[in-house]
């Protein structure tokens, strides 16, 4: 997020008539210090040309685009390593638009209900097929133009372990039956857990909006993980977007299905939507079930051997590359938060032209 956008968000948020929760204000405050000396960092050095550079620590605030770009890379690597080398389904579980206000008033509870409902529908496949499949579920709250659209993305393996411990492909999924079951479970949970005043009137609920959008991928599901990586980890906008800031509006571009789409929103609406899309504290937005869950780690390892898959041993980290020769750089000095910029500059420009032996680390 460039500083001009962050400044606009802060300006609107601090206006007398604008309401933002303490949690939201703290999130924006943290974003101001992301990748700055206020958070400390490290000096990294190239073992080839001895170039040194500064890497400041991220704020790791959920919803911060600066952090999320790094977190997306880590998440994509993690998910891709977990997925088996088989085809996967990409399912999207959505709820009627009439429940938007319900979600805004009960964000964490509605997300938990969607997770529970979608995961139960997937779990019931084991009862009907006898197969232990693997799935990864990801909660997202936004649609085009930063609109409110709470939904669940699901990566589901096309197959699972049968009663004999062997791999067997799924038969064709019955999407209509699954959507009806999702509707039934989710609606009952909403009635049970949400106060009646926060629920929409029955006449306003369009039952045909309880949907499951299916796609089938033959490339081990990594393309699904790549797609979700662009919109996961809590960031609704990213650094690559073009922003057009005027006195009363903020325009931005998005890519959907390979097409560039421009959206213009009033500043207050933009800030409201951005803040509301920051996941509430304590909500785990990415979860694993079935064969991909920690409960079935041994079964996953065993069945992976049948596919003769060799897992990548690369560390789950983002590697710092030398700006001059593109070699991997290594950490040689750590410095704490609020270190004086002159001291940081001195650390970066001085010191032995080599790694510090046993003191060097990633």
pLDDT per position as a tens digit, 276-331: 999 998 999 999 999 999 999 999 999 988 886 544 544 445 678 888 898 999 99
pLDDT at 164: 92
- In this prediction, the residues of the chain whose per-residue pLDDT falls under 70 are 1-3, 230-235, 238-240, 242, 308-318, 350-362
| Residue 78 and residue 163 in one domain | yes
CA distances from 153 to 134, 178, 232 (A): 14, 14, 10
Tokens in use for 102?
């319900």
- Does some domain include residue 244? no
pLDDT at 290: 96
Pairing mode, if any, of strands 41-45 and 330-335?
antiparallel
Cβ–Cβ < 8 Å for 294, 253: no
Residue range(s) defining the domain that contains residue 36: 3-60+318-359
pLDDT at 169: 93
* Coil, helix or strand at residue 277: coil
Distance CA 92, CA 233 (A): 17
pLDDT at 157: 95
- Does some domain include residue 313? no
**Exposure letters 306-322 (e unless 16+ CB within 10 A, then b):** eeeeeeeeeeeeeebeb
| Residue 81 and residue 227 in one domain | yes
| Residue 43 and residue 158 in one domain | no
| Residue 73 and residue 154 in one domain | yes
pLDDT at 236: 78
| Residue 38 and residue 97 in one domain | no
| Residue 34 and residue 94 in one domain | no
- Does some domain include residue 354? yes
- Does some domain include residue 231? yes
| Residue 151 and residue 290 in one domain | yes
| Residue 287 and residue 335 in one domain | no
DSSP structure string for 108-167: HHHHHHHHHHHHHHHHHHHHHH--EEEEEEEEEEE-GGG-EEEEEEEEEEEEEE-TTS-E
pLDDT at 235: 66
pLDDT at 309: 56
| Residue 29 and residue 120 in one domain | no
- Does some domain include residue 21? yes
Distance CA 133, CA 141 (A): 26
pLDDT at 134: 96
| Residue 89 and residue 142 in one domain | yes
pLDDT at 246: 87
- Does some domain include residue 123? yes
Tokens in use for 201?
């009137």
| Residue 351 and residue 297 in one domain | no
- Does some domain include residue 312? no
Q: Which of 234, 206, 196, 269 is nearest to 8 (CA)?
A: 269
H/E stretch holding 168 reads strand 167-168
H helices then E strands: how many in the chain? 10, 12
Based on the structure, what is the number of domains in the chain? 2
Q: Which of 138, 13, 119, 156 is nearest to 71 (CA)?
A: 138
- In this prediction the pTM is 0.86
- Does some domain include residue 255? no
pLDDT tens-digit readout, 329-362: 999 989 999 999 888 888 887 655 444 433 344 4
| Residue 198 and residue 99 in one domain | yes
pLDDT at 317: 57
């Amino acid at each position: 997020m460039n500083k001009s956008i962050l400044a606009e968000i802060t300006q609107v948020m601090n206006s007398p008539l604008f309401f933002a929760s303490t949690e939201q204000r703290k999130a924006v405050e943290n974003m101001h210090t992301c990748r700055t000396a206020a958070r400390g960092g490290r000096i990294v050095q190239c073992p080839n040309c001895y170039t040194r550079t500064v890497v400041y620590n991220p704020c790791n605030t959920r919803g911060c685009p600066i952090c999320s770009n790094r977190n997306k890379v880590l998440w994509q690597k993690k998910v891709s390593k977990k997925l088996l080398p088989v085809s996967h389904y990409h399912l999207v579980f959505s709820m009627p638009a009439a429940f938007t206000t319900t979600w805004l008033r009960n964000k964490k509870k509605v997300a938990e209900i969607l997770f529970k409902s979608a995961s139960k529908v997937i779990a019931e496949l084991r009862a009907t097929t006898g197969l232990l499949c693997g799935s990864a579920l990801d909660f997202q709250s936004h649609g085009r133009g930063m609109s409110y659209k709470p939904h669940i993305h699901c990566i589901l393996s096309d197959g699972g372990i049968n009663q004999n411990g062997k791999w067997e492909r799924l038969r064709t999924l019955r999407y209509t039956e699954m959507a009806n079951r999702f509707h039934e479970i989710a609606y009952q949970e909403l009635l049970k857990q949400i106060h009646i005043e926060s629920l929409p009137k029955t006449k306003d609920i369009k039952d045909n909006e309880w949907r499951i959008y299916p796609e089938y991928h033959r490339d081990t599901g990594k393309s699904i993980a790549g797609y979700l990586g662009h919109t996961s980890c809590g960031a609704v906008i990213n650094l690559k977007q073009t922003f057009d800031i005027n006195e009363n509006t903020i325009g931005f571009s998005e890519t959907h299905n390979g097409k560039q789409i421009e959206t213009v929103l009033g500043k207050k609406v933009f800030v409201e939507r951005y803040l509301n899309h920051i996941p509430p504290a304590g909500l785990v937005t990415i979860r694993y079930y079935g064969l991909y869950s920690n409960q079935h780690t041994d079964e996953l390892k065993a069945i992976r051997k049948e596919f003769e898959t060799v897992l990548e041993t690369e560390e789950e980290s983002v590697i710092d590359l030398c700006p001059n020769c593109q070699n991997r750089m290594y950490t040689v000095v750590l410095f704490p938060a609020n270190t004086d910029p002159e001291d940081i500059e001195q650390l970066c420009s001085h010191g032995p032209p080599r790694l510090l032996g046993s003191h060097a680390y990633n």
